């Protein structure tokens, strides 16, 4: 009897969509209230003055102003502030 073994199925061949994380407005840029400043996983950047934290850890502007990144605290965490013009 002529037999041919069936070809195995590959365990590769999948890929996830990119999540477009990162800084969306850099230091010194003007933003409007509601603008997203940083999309992130976890709190790599922390909210400072006039900045809100979304439930997926997204940082957004609460007021119009200029974005400012500042290292603060004993562990020198990076805080994002909005300086009102």
Q: What is the CATH number of the domain that holds 46?
A: 2.40.50.100
Domain membership of residue 8 (yes or no) is no
Q: What is the mean pLDDT of residues 16-23?
A: 97
At residue 8, the pLDDT reads 79
Q: Are 73 and 52 in contact (CB under 8 A)?
A: no
- For the chain, what is the domain count? 1
At residue 9, the pLDDT reads 81
Q: Are 44 and 78 in contact (CB under 8 A)?
A: yes
Domain membership of residue 47 (yes or no) is yes
Tokens 């365990």 belong to: 11
Domain membership of residue 71 (yes or no) is yes
Domain membership of residue 65 (yes or no) is yes
List the one residue out of 71, 74, 56 whose CA is nearest residue 19.
Answer: 56
6 vs 43, residue with greater confidence = 43
pTM above the 0.75 mark?
yes
């Amino acid at each position: 009897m002529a037999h041919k073994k069936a070809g195995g199925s590959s365990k590769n061949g999948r890929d996830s969509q990119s999540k477009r994380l990162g800084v969306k407005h850099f230091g010194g840029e003007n933003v409007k209230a509601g603008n997203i400043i940083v999309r992130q996983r976890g709190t790599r950047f922390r909210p400072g003055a006039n900045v809100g934290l979304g439930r997926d850890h997204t940082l957004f502007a609460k007021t119009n102003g200029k974005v400012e990144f500042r290292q603060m605290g004993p562990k020198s965490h990076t805080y994002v502030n909005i300086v009102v013009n």
